[in-house]
Amino acid sequence: MIDNSRVTDPAEYSENLYRKMMEINPGVAGLELYEFCYALENLTPKFGWNSIEPAGMQDIDRVIQTRKFYENIQLKPKRGDRIVLDDAIVHLTQMLFVGLLGEIYPVQWVRERFYFDLRGFIFFVRSQYYTPNTFHHFGGHPFARFDITQSYMEGAHEIGYKEFKEANREIDAAFLDVIQKLISNRNAPFLMTISGPTGAGKTEITDRLRAIFEVQGKKLAAIGMDHFFKDREYRDRNTLGREVIHFQLFKLAMQRILRGEKIIIPRYDFYNATSSHDLEGNLRPGATPQEIESADIILLEGNFPFHLPELVDLVGIKIVYLTDDPIRLKRKWKRDIDFRKKYDANYFCNRYFRTQFLRAEDVYRPLMEVCDLIVDTTAASLWITPQIVKELNLNSAIWD
pLDDT for the residue 8: 62
Q: Report the percentage of the chain scoring pLDDT > 90.
A: 72
Q: Report the percentage of the chain scoring pLDDT > 70.
A: 96
pLDDT for the residue 7: 59
pLDDT for the residue 146: 95
Least confident of 162-176, 182-196, 286-300: 182-196
Please report, as a single letter, which amino acid is at residue 149: T
- DSSP per-residue string spanning 152-173: GGTT-S---HHHHHHHTHHHHH
Name 376's bridge partners.
Answer: 322, 381
pLDDT for the residue 225: 87
Mean pLDDT of 367-387: 96
pLDDT for the residue 53: 94
pLDDT for the residue 310: 81
pLDDT digits (tens, 9 = 90+) for 232-261: 999 878 776 788 899 999 999 999 999 999
Please report, as a single letter, which amino acid is at residue 312: V
State how far the Cα of 127 lies from the Cα of 118, in Å rounded to an integer: 18
Residue 400, pLDDT above cutoff 60: no
pLDDT for the residue 1: 43
pLDDT for the residue 9: 80
Q: Grade residue 2 by pLDDT with cuts at 50, 70 and 90.
A: very low
Q: How many residues would you count in the chain?
A: 400
Residue 194, pLDDT above cutoff 70: yes
Enumerate domains of the chain plus CATH numbers: 4-125 (no CATH), 132-219+295-398 (3.40.50)
Residue 284, pLDDT above cutoff 50: yes
pLDDT for the residue 141: 95
Nearest Cα residue to 71 out of 345, 359, 368: 359
State how far the Cα of 343 lies from the Cα of 318, in Å rounded to an integer: 31
Residue 350, pLDDT above cutoff 90: yes
Mean pLDDT of 42-67: 95
Please report, as a single letter, which amino acid is at residue 41: E
Mean pLDDT of 342-354: 95
Q: Which residues contact 6 (CB under 8 A, 6 or more apart)?
A: 12, 13, 16, 101, 102
Mean pLDDT value across the chain? 91
pLDDT for the residue 240: 66
C-alpha distances in Å from residue 90, one per residue of 44, 45, 176:
10, 9, 42
* Helical segments of 186-241, H only: 202-215, 232-235
Backbone angles phi, psi at 384, to 5 degrees: -135, 135
pLDDT for the residue 397: 58
Mean pLDDT of 94-108: 96
State how far the Cα of 96 lies from the Cα of 122, in Å rounded to an integer: 10
Residue 390, pLDDT above cutoff 70: yes
Please report, as a single letter, which amino acid is at residue 368: M
Centroid of chain to Cα 327: 9
Q: Grade residue 396 by pLDDT with cuts at 50, 70 and 90.
A: low
Does the pTM of the predicted model rise above 0.75? yes
